[in-house]
Structure 1
Amino acid sequence: MTVNQGTYALNEDATPRRVVLAFRGRYQFLSNFWPCNVTLPAEGELPALEFDSTEKAYMAWKTLNWETRTSIQSLKSGQAKRLTHLSDFPTRPDYSDAGRLTIMLELNRQKYSPRNPRLREQLLATGNAVLMEGNDWGDTFFGFDYNRGYGQNHLGRILMQVRAEIMEDIGAA
């Protein structure tokens, strides 16, 4: 599918606002697969773990099994995602949408923190653009599925929240 990244929406005052429709091309850095340094926080007796993408950290969060978490560190992001879709994957018992949103927000705050300065600059460079995690693989929770014409776009919303927090911090400094 060809995606026109130059699309505009209207703000409440009828001024145009750029819309990023997919995390591809020059906006690929917004993808959870993009390399960055993040830490999955310690939980109970499980220590914190370092990851090289938010995708892998998020996939590791889905389980409380230490061996599975550490094995995800050495996988590619796509492999980690596929692993969590296997029927015998040891999914954490408290897995919920609220938990998913909480950890995704935490990981993206880290991704765009001073710890990853280039990514922080790139996120800020999106200005006030609406960020849509448009996809054709059926993700209607974190994204917007083009084929279904529906999606909650939680990842896009999280990224816009993180961007607003950074802009507020910079303005307060």
Structure 2
Amino acid sequence: MIDRFTDEYFFLSNFYESKVTYDGITYLNNEAAFQAMKTLDEDERRRFALLDPDAAKKAGRKVSLRADWEDVKTDLMYEICKAKFTQNDDLARKLSATGDEELVEGNSWGDRIWGKVNGQGENRLGIILMKIREELRQ
């Protein structure tokens, strides 16, 4: 099991700096792309393009939140992660190299939706990454 997206597995994190183009905008990292999708306002989205992950996360708290966010956020995370690994061959190879390991975004900041804290949580990000890993094999 890979239970933290740090060190040699930091590339699995949305905070890993790797360009990704999603919905016509190129972002410096997945976190910026994901946070940008919280709004439907194109100008607001474009402001995320050059933000580092920390700045993007903070800015994501201040956007005009789309009404359907809770309904679409998991699908958007999947699409953005899929873009990251299909647009960056080196990262696709690294993800594939994790084999059949369970991927868990263990964390200490309390995120029990996208990851797990002390083994508790939904681990949506880990599940998405394992799905993409399987799709890359096909």
Normalising by the smaller structure, the TM-score range is over 0.9
Q: Highest Rg: 1 or 2?
A: 1
Equivalent residue for 2:45?
69
Q: Which structure is higher in strand share?
A: 1
1:21 to 2:13 alignment: no
- 1:54 deviates by 1.0
Aligned-pair Cα RMSD in Å: 1.2
1:159 to 2:129 alignment: yes
What letter matches 1:93 in structure 2? A
Equivalent residue for 1:92?
66
Q: Secondary structure at the match of 2:39?
A: coil
Give the counterpart of 1:105 among 78, 103, 125: 78
TM-score, normalisation: structure 2 = 0.94
Q: Which structure is higher in helix share?
A: 2
- 1:85 deviates by 2.3
List runs of 5+ in structure 2 lacking aligned partners. none
Equivalent residue for 1:8?
none
Equivalent residue for 1:81?
57
TM-score, normalisation: structure 1 = 0.76
Identity of paired residues, percent? 35
Taking the aligned partners of 1:110 and 1:95, their CA distance within structure 2 comes to 20
What letter matches 2:91 in structure 1? L
**Bigger RCO of structures 1 and 2 (CA < 8 A, at least 6 apart):** 2
Q: Secondary structure at the match of 2:20?
A: strand
List runs of 5+ in structure 1 lacking aligned partners. 1-18, 42-47, 169-173
